[in-house]
Structure 1
Amino acid sequence: MSDRRAAVARAVVGRRRELDLVLAAVTAGRDVMLEGPPGVSKSTMLRAITALWGVPFVLVEGNAELTPARLVGHHNPARVLREDYSSDNFVAGPLVSAMQDGGFLYIEELNRAPEDTLNVLLAAMAERELTVPRVGTVTARPTFRVLASMNPFDDVGTARISDSVYDRWCRLVVGYQDETEEAQIVRARTGVDDDGLVADAVALTRATRGHPDLRRGASVRGAIDLTAIAVELRALGSHDGDHPRIVLDAALLALSARIAVDDAFDGTPEEVIIRIWEDRFFSRPGVPRRDRTASTSTTPSS
């Protein structure tokens, strides 16, 4: 087990405890639900484990269009007209494919899937086999697992998960990584070795989480994009190389769509980002704060 963990850990920054728990659960033959905000390495951990095991990773997006037929599969209409229904003209869906190949079926945003689709899924999980009309019984290979993720902070287009659904999974809550690990992720994903820029990008992104004027902050993906954009702005000569102004432009572009203002806040995402930027660059001990009116009176540009 320790060798397996070491092999998986090489593909993931940090997450030692979470990796241990997920690896132990799937090795024990259990299905796992990962609950947490976007960008916390949920799918990365699972992809690393499937790569180690050498089994397929079958990704399905949970949404209202994920019907039982799309999950299980369907008969080819053209062939049905010529040949009638048969197992030969059945096109396997992600659930049946994962069962037949012994793969990991990963359903992203499980709580967006319709209830009747979840019922089909739970039956396959309970019995490790599925009866498909006009095809027969599909029996899962031993390495077949059903994995799922949910974002508990997003209630748009989601449904309450019933106790019977929760009862089928081992549930693991996954939160944001610490600042050091997020900086490592940004460096790894961007190839940027400018510690100052990476630190600023991570700090601005992390400051959006828990901000009093925001109901949703940005994931580490925001810091990754911010860093990459800032590097390109610097290469273009934007703001004559003024680092704080380059970071502001990059932050407005990378973070504004990833945050959501609170309903009680009468302002825009851009205004919140500018305030966070000002606090980062002009509110440090011993550094005079720039006049807010002067710094926000014009739209940042290159």
Structure 2
Amino acid sequence: MTAVLAALAVVDRARETELLEAALASGAHVVLEGPPGTGKTTLLRRVAAARDGSFALVEGNAELTPARLVGHFDPALVLSRGYQPDVFVDGPLLTAMREGGLLYVEELNRVPEETLNTLLAVMSEREIVVARLGLVRAAPGFAVVAAMNPYDAVGTARVSSAVYDRTCRIAMGYQSAEAEAQIVAQRAPAPSEAWRDRAVALVRATREHPELRVGSSVRGTIDLAGINHQLARARGVAEDDWRAGLDAALVALSGRVRVDESSTRRPEEIIAELYVAHFGTDPADAADGSDGSEEREEQRSGEA
């Protein structure tokens, strides 16, 4: 565990850290529920590091079969030695069970139903019967922690009541503006605190814009600051250059936001609008008496 991750975990997350530690100490399984970029994985990694136990991470997707989760017999060794326990290759679930560690399942609502049923049985009984291997019981300290974004409807399935009945739920919303500014300060360079605060405000505004169905997480602010830094260096301009910041915002945020179906505008137009709202108009336009609207319209037409 790096010092950076440990520091990020505690930014505006003291309550969630305390709740997770208490739930795990009681022997409960936990679901961390919240939008992307709210620190779910970082929080768990910090708590896991403090436990001095193993930590197995699996990504929930259509390819997470029961065999990949539980483990399998090595085919080559089976041919020569048969189905012996020592030729079984533990998957992340059995690894966590044997070592009394944490199994972290990302994107729980993307896990196939068959695999989820296997996981539910282990969560209830803390043991599993594997064909030709036998019964495997979980060592003390074993727990399942899952994470999910309840607002993502693409490629996901509804999480059943059976999951919630076997888990405790910790809801994680976005941090405060001050906390997000701290996170960005730890992860990316910024021309000044004032610039960083405006960038944070811009990204937070994407979450409330009436034409955006999904806004950006703090990761968007981190990328905005990082791209702005590199663009300014490449162009040989000041790091608070207005146009470098606009281009960085377009690159960092236009793919992260989702425009509502009722809107006729493209994400680039909305990001440009929010950028002007938080960073002002282009100083070069003010110098030549133009408001810059014609040039920005040409830029948007070119992007189309």
What TM-score, normalized by structure 2, do the two folds share?
Answer: 0.89
Which of the numbers 62, 66, 69 marks the counterpart of 1:68? 66
* Pairs within 5 Å for 1:73-92: 73-92=71-90
1:38 counterpart SS class: coil
Shift, 1:231, TM fit? 1.2
2:197 counterpart SS class: helix
Which of the numbers 250, 253, 256 marks the counterpart of 1:252? 250
What amino acid is aligned across from residue 199 of structure 1 in structure 2?
A: D
Unaligned regions of 5+ residues in structure 2, if any? Answer: 1-5
Q: Distance in 2 between matches of 1:52 and 1:210?
A: 36
2:173 counterpart SS class: coil
Q: Distance in 2 between matches of 1:187 and 1:84?
A: 56
* Pairs within 5 Å for 1:178-217: 178-190=176-188, 192=190, 194-217=192-215
2:185 counterpart SS class: helix
Please name the residue that 1:281 is paired with: 279
Q: Do residues 110 (structure 1) and 108 (structure 2) align?
A: yes
Unaligned regions of 5+ residues in structure 1, if any? Answer: 1-7
1:297 counterpart SS class: helix
Shift, 1:297, TM fit? 2.5
- Give yes or no for contact 1:282–1:290 (8 Å, CA) kept in 2: no
Please name the residue that 2:151 is paired with: 153
Q: Judging changes above 3 Å, is the alpha-carbon distance between structure 1 residues 91 and 233 closer, same or farther for their aligned structure 2 residues?
A: same
Please name the residue that 1:32 is paired with: 30
Please name the residue that 2:120 is paired with: 122
1:91 counterpart SS class: strand
Q: Distance in 2 between matches of 1:171 and 1:138?
A: 27
- Give yes or no for contact 1:238–1:246 (8 Å, CA) kept in 2: no
Please name the residue that 1:221 is paired with: 219
Q: Distance in 2 between matches of 1:297 and 1:127?
A: 63
- Give yes or no for contact 1:26–1:145 (8 Å, CA) kept in 2: yes
Shift, 1:129, TM fit? 1.2
Which of the numbers 120, 131, 137 marks the counterpart of 2:135? 137
What amino acid is aligned across from residue 38 of structure 1 in structure 2?
A: P
Shift, 1:250, TM fit? 0.6
Identity %: 51
Q: Distance in 1 between matches of 2:189 and 2:237?
A: 23
Instruction: State the number of aligned residues.
Output: 290
Q: Judging changes above 3 Å, is the alpha-carbon distance between structure 1 residues 240 and 220 closer, same or farther for their aligned structure 2 residues?
A: closer
Please name the residue that 1:3 is paired with: none
Please name the residue that 2:3 is paired with: none
Shift, 1:258, TM fit? 1.0
Shift, 1:40, TM fit? 0.2
1:164 counterpart SS class: helix
Shift, 1:239, TM fit? 5.7
